[in-house]
Amino acid sequence: MTYAYQTEKSQSGLFFAQAERYGREVFMRAKFHKGKSCHEWRNITWNEAAQAARQMGAGLIAMGINSNDRIAIFAHNRPRWIISDQAVQGAGAVGVPIYPTSTDKQLTFILNDCQAKAVIAGDQALMDQALRVKPEVPSLRFIVCMGPVKKNADENILAYDTLLKKGAASPAALTQFEQRRKALTEENIGTIIYTSGTTGNPKGVVLTQANFKAQTDVLISTPILQKLLERNIRLESLCFLPLCHVMGRTSDYHLQMALGTTICFAESIQQIQKNIQEIKPQVLFSVPRLYEKIFEAVKVHSGKLNGAPKKIFNWALATGQQASDHMIAGTPLPPALGVKFALANALVFDRVRKVIGFDRLVIAGSGGGALPGDITKFFRSMNITITEGYGLTETTSAISSNAPVFVEPLPDKWIYRKAMDWLIDVMILTQGNGICPFKSAKGILKMTVASKLILPRFIIKPGYVGRPCKDTKIKIAEDGEILVKGPQVFFPQMGYYQNQDKTREVFTADGFFKTGDIGEFDAEGFLKITDRKKELIVTSGGKNIAPLPIEMALVIDLFIDQACVVGDGKNYITALIVPQFDLLKQMAKERNIRFSSVEDLIRAPEILRFFDEKIAKINQSLARYEQIKKYRLLAKPFSEETGELTPTQKMKRRVIHEKYGMEIDALYA
C-alpha cells in the first residue's frame, strides 16, 4: 500500500491530501483563540487549517507575491505558523523561518540576504521589531501579524484575518493559488533555513521539496511507524522544538503531518512540563536537556526516600538497568529477569511515568546534542525508548538514527508477524492509552512473546547515533570528519543561498557533504560523534583533545548544569562550570552553608571542596592529558540572550572565551 507522503511531490501536496482524508478530525490543538493566547486548549480541524491556508495564500497572491518570492516567518510555534508555511508554499513562494529570539541586527541580515518581500510576524512585539528594521530592508513590502493588530496607520501592516478576507474575496487569486500549489514539483525550493552562525553570519541553506520528501521517508521508514500507518493508528504529539529549526520542522511538523497525528503546541519552553502533564503526549521530540531535567528530578526525589520505599525503588532501578543492558545488546531477557522487569514496571515505573506525565508516551526522540547513556537506559527501564539521531540543517535533519529498525530482516513467518502486531498492541495502543501493559495477563503474554522474538532484533546503543538512514551513505575521512551523501542532503547546485564559494567548500570532489563533525563507526556499523572538527583542542604539547566527551562527563552530574572545556594552545585542560543552582542552594541550606547571593555560594570553601571531589572523580575516567587541572564556577548560566549560545543552544566558544577571558587567564596564571 502506498501513502500520501510517498506519492505527493511536495509538502503542500501532502498537507492538502491529508486534509482531504481526515477532514473534520482534529489536526492541531493550542491555547490560542482568534490569534490571542488563552487558558484553554482549542482545536483546529484539518478542514479549517486547509481553508485558512488556501485563503491566506490567495491573500499573498493578491498582495503581489510571485512564485519564488521569499517570505519570512518570524514567529514562535503556534498553529498559524504551520498554516502560514502552507500558505507560502502553496502560493509558490519560498518560506524563510527566522528565530523569534533574533536581534534587530540578525533579523536585518537575514531579510536582506534572502531579499524578503514580506514578513509574517507572530505577534505585536515581533511585528514592531520587523517594522523597526523595515527601513534597512529595501526589498520588504509588507508585514503580516498572526495576532491582533493595534490601530496602526502604516498601510504596510496587515492583520492575519484581513489577509485571509482579502484572499477569500478574490476568486482570481484563489484560482491562481490552486494552480501554483498543484504545479509544485520535487525540484521546487521548499525553504531557506539560516544556520545559527556560531562562527559568523548565518548561511541560508536551500532545501528543496525533494529534500523534504526524502527526509519524511527516512523518518517514517521504521517498522513501528510503518505499522502505525498500516493499522491507521493516529497519535497525539506535543510540539515545542522551534519550527524554524530543521529538526523541529521535520520531526514535529512534517513527520506528524504524514502520520496524521494531532499536533498540540506547548505554550513555551518554560511551560513545557506543565503542558506535558496536561496533554500526556504519546509522541515527543526534544533536545537532551528536557530528558536530563526529568532524570535529575527523579534522582532527587529518590534520594529523599527512606526505608522500604527506598529499597523498592533502588531494586526497580537495578532491575531496569539489567533489562536495559539485555535490550541494548540484543539478547532476550532471561525468564527470571523478565518477571522482575514486569514487576518493576507495574509497581514502580508506572507511578513514575504518571508523575512526570509520560504515562502515554510511546514515541520519543532526542536530537541537537548527545544524550548521556545513563539517561537512555533509565527511560528504557520505564519501557520508553528514546530514539537519537544525527544530522544538520544541510542534511534536512537526520542522516543516521538509533530508531528501532531490524538489524536483519524479520523472518517471513506467521509467528513473527503476530509478535510484531502484539508489540504494537502493548507498546503503542495499551501504553499509549496510559495503561501499564504489565498489569494484565494478556499484556504480559504479548510482551513476553514480543520481547522474545522482536525486541532482540532492535539494537539501540546509548552513546551512538545509530546506523546510516535509508538510502544514505556515510564515510569517515582520513582526518576523522564525517562525510555524507543522500537524497536528504542539500544539493550542490542549490547550496547556500547566493553563496557558491561556501557551497564548494563543503563538498568533496566525489560529492560527499563535509559535516564538520568528527566521528567513528563501531564493528556493527553504529556511528558515534566525538566532536566538532573546528572545536578540537590542540594543547601546547601537541595533544588533540575533543572537548565534547569531557563536557558530557561533567554535565551528567546532577549539580553541573553547563560546562565549557578550555585548553587550546595551553599546557593543560581547564573548565568553566555553571552549577545547577536550585540543587546547590538546597544542599547549602541542608548543610547550613550561609550565603547571600550565588556569587557568595560559589566562593564558599565547602562548595569548592564539594566540586573538587566531583572533578577528581570525573578525572579518573579521562586520559592524563585530558584531565581537568583547574576550573572556575560561574555565577550566571550561558544563554542565547547573553550571547554565549545560539538559538539551537550550541555554545559559541569564541564568545565565551572573550567574555570570560580574565577568568580563563587566571586559571593559567
pLDDT digits over 503-517, tens only? Answer: 999 999 999 999 999
One-letter amino acid for residue 514 of the chain: K
Per-residue pLDDT band for 152 (boundaries 50, 70, 90) equals: low
Q: Evaluate whether 515 touches 527 at the Cβ level (below 8 Å).
A: no
Tell me the H-state helices in 63-102. 79-90
pLDDT digits over 11-42, tens only? Answer: 999 999 999 999 999 999 999 999 999 999 99
- C-alpha dist (Å) from residue 169 to 62, 147, 627: 10, 21, 69
Query: In the chain, pLDDT over 90 holds for what percent of residues?
Result: 66
Q: Evaluate whether 633 touches 579 at the Cβ level (below 8 Å).
A: yes
Q: Evaluate whether 109 touches 86 at the Cβ level (below 8 Å).
A: no
Quote the longest CA-to-CA distance of the chain: 75
Reduced to 3 states (helix: H, G, I; strand: E, B; else coil), residue 445 is: helix
Does position 612 have pLDDT exceeding 90, yes or no?
yes
Reduced to 3 states (helix: H, G, I; strand: E, B; else coil), residue 116 is: coil
Report the mean per-residue pLDDT for the chain: 91
Does position 198 have pLDDT exceeding 70, yes or no?
no
Does position 199 have pLDDT exceeding 60, yes or no?
no
Q: At what angle do helices 171-182 and 46-62 cross, to 10 degrees?
A: 110
Q: Evaluate whether 454 touches 409 at the Cβ level (below 8 Å).
A: no
Domains of the chain: 536-667 (3.30.300.30)
Does position 166 have pLDDT exceeding 60, yes or no?
yes
* Alpha carbon 606 to its chain's center: 38
**Which residue in this structure is represented by grid cell 487558558?**
39
Confidence at residue 245, expressed as pLDDT on a 0 to 100 scale: 92
Average pLDDT of the residues in 462-474: 91
Query: In the chain, pLDDT over 70 holds for what percent of residues?
Result: 99
Bridge partners, residue 537, by sequence = 545
Confidence at residue 460, expressed as pLDDT on a 0 to 100 scale: 80
Q: Evaluate whether 391 touches 247 at the Cβ level (below 8 Å).
A: yes
DSSP 406: B
Does position 369 have pLDDT exceeding 80, yes or no?
no
Confidence at residue 584, expressed as pLDDT on a 0 to 100 scale: 92
pLDDT digits over 72-101, tens only? Answer: 999 999 999 999 999 999 999 999 999 998
- C-alpha dist (Å) from residue 525 to 302, 324, 426, 528, 635: 37, 20, 30, 10, 42
Does position 428 have pLDDT exceeding 70, yes or no?
yes
Per-residue pLDDT band for 150 (boundaries 50, 70, 90) equals: confident
Give the closest residue to 250 by CA, choosing from 118, 399, 70: 399
| CA–CA gap between residue 430 and residue 438 (Å, rounded) | 10
pLDDT digits over 306-325, tens only? Answer: 888 889 999 999 999 898 88
Other Cβ atoms less than 10 A from the Cβ of 373: the count is 16
Does position 260 have pLDDT exceeding 80, yes or no?
yes
Confidence at residue 153, expressed as pLDDT on a 0 to 100 scale: 61
Strand order in the sheet with 481-485: 473-476, 481-485, 513-521, 527-532
Average pLDDT of the residues in 48-60: 98
| CA–CA gap between residue 602 and residue 269 (Å, rounded) | 27
Regarding beta strands 363-366 and 283-286, do their DSSP bridges make them parallel or antiparallel, or are they unpaired?
A: parallel
Reduced to 3 states (helix: H, G, I; strand: E, B; else coil), residue 650 is: coil
| Long-range contact set of residues 650-659: C-beta below 8 Å, sequence gap at least 24 | 650/196, 650/198, 650/369, 651/198, 651/564, 652/198, 653/198, 653/535, 653/564, 654/198, 654/199, 656/564, 656/576, 657/566
| CA–CA gap between residue 644 and residue 562 (Å, rounded) | 11
| CA–CA gap between residue 300 and residue 313 (Å, rounded) | 13
Per-residue pLDDT band for 62 (boundaries 50, 70, 90) equals: very high
For 562, list phi and psi in degrees, rounded to 5: -140, 155
